[in-house]
């Protein structure tokens, strides 16, 4: 475990903002250094975010993503950052790792992070590509490694590109 806090500039912020290996963010705007206050954002799974003012625009940025971009190599160009211990407020570099969407969901299922967040009644679905039946759309998407929300939206909107149908 890395015990020494390190600071790195946040990319494309012209040295006005820095992120630490412990998940803190500081600003050097207006000629003084100050640690920025985080707030929680998101539905269901809430993440600490920070507001950054860049070129007259305000951006809400997830702190764990800033830490990963600054400190954790991503040679496989994986798109998501996982909290190893499941605690969304623990943004220390030792608790973060780059993952695929499928790896992130598998971790959540394996560690029980989805417990209590599942729908009360999971509807079974059938995959028209493979003909396979699944107990839920979530399980189907995990197995094929595709985004749940994309397929749920296609079902809801009765899209011509719909791959799954409720039984």
pLDDT at 156 over 70: yes
- Among candidate residues 108, 40, 97, the one with its CA nearest the CA of residue 71: 97
Residue 14 and residue 74 share a domain: yes
| C-beta neighbour count of 76 within 10 angstroms | 8
pLDDT, tens digit, for every residue of 9-53?
A: 998 888 899 999 999 999 998 888 999 999 888 655 688 999 998
pLDDT for the residue numbered 120: 36
pLDDT for the residue numbered 119: 44
Q: Tokens 């003909």 — which residue?
A: 131
Q: How far apart are CA 76 and CA 100, in angstroms?
A: 10
pLDDT for the residue numbered 42: 67
Q: How far apart are CA 128 and CA 154, in angstroms?
A: 13
Q: Could you tell me the residue range of the domain that residue 20 belongs to?
A: 7-78+95-100
Residue 72 and residue 134 share a domain: no
Residue 74 and residue 19 share a domain: yes
Confidence of residue 74 (pLDDT cuts 50, 70, 90): very high
pLDDT, tens digit, for every residue of 92-147?
A: 999 999 999 889 888 887 777 765 444 434 688 999 999 999 888 888 888 898 88
Q: Is residue 136 part of a domain?
A: yes
pLDDT for the residue numbered 122: 67
Q: Is residue 65 part of a domain?
A: yes
- 3-state DSSP assignment of residue 51: strand
Q: Is residue 105 part of a domain?
A: no
Q: Is residue 51 part of a domain?
A: yes
Contact predicate 92/48, CB 8 Å: no
Residue 11 and residue 73 share a domain: yes
Q: Is residue 83 part of a domain?
A: no
Q: Is residue 111 part of a domain?
A: no
pLDDT for the residue numbered 114: 63
pLDDT for the residue numbered 2: 59
Report if pTM > 0.85. no
The upper half-sphere exposure of residue 118, i.e. CA atoms within 13 Å in the direction of its Cβ, equals: 16
Q: Is residue 32 part of a domain?
A: yes
Domain count, the chain: 2
Q: Is residue 120 part of a domain?
A: no
> What CATH number does residue 62 fall under?
3.90.75.20
pLDDT for the residue numbered 157: 79
């Amino acid at each position: 475990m890395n015990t020494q806090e390190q600071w790195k500039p946040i990319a494309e912020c012209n040295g006005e903002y820095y992120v630490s290996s412990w998940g803190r963010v500081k600003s050097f705007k207006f000629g003084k250094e100050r640690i920025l206050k985080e707030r929680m954002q998101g539905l269901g799974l809430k993440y600490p975010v920070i507001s950054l003012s860049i070129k007259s625009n305000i951006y809400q940025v997830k702190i764990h993503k800033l830490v990963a971009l600054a400190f954790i190599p991503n040679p496989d160009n994986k798109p998501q950052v996982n909290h190893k211990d499941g605690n969304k407020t623990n943004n220390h570099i030792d608790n973060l790792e780059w993952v695929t969407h499928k790896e992130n969901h598998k971790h959540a299922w394996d560690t029980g992070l989805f417990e209590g967040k599942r729908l009360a009644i999971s509807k079974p679905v059938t995959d028209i590509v493979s003909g396979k039946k699944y107990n839920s759309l979530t399980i189907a998407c995990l197995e094929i490694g595709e985004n749940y929300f994309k397929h749920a939206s296609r079902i809801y909107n009765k899209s011509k590109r719909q791959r799954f149908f409720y039984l």
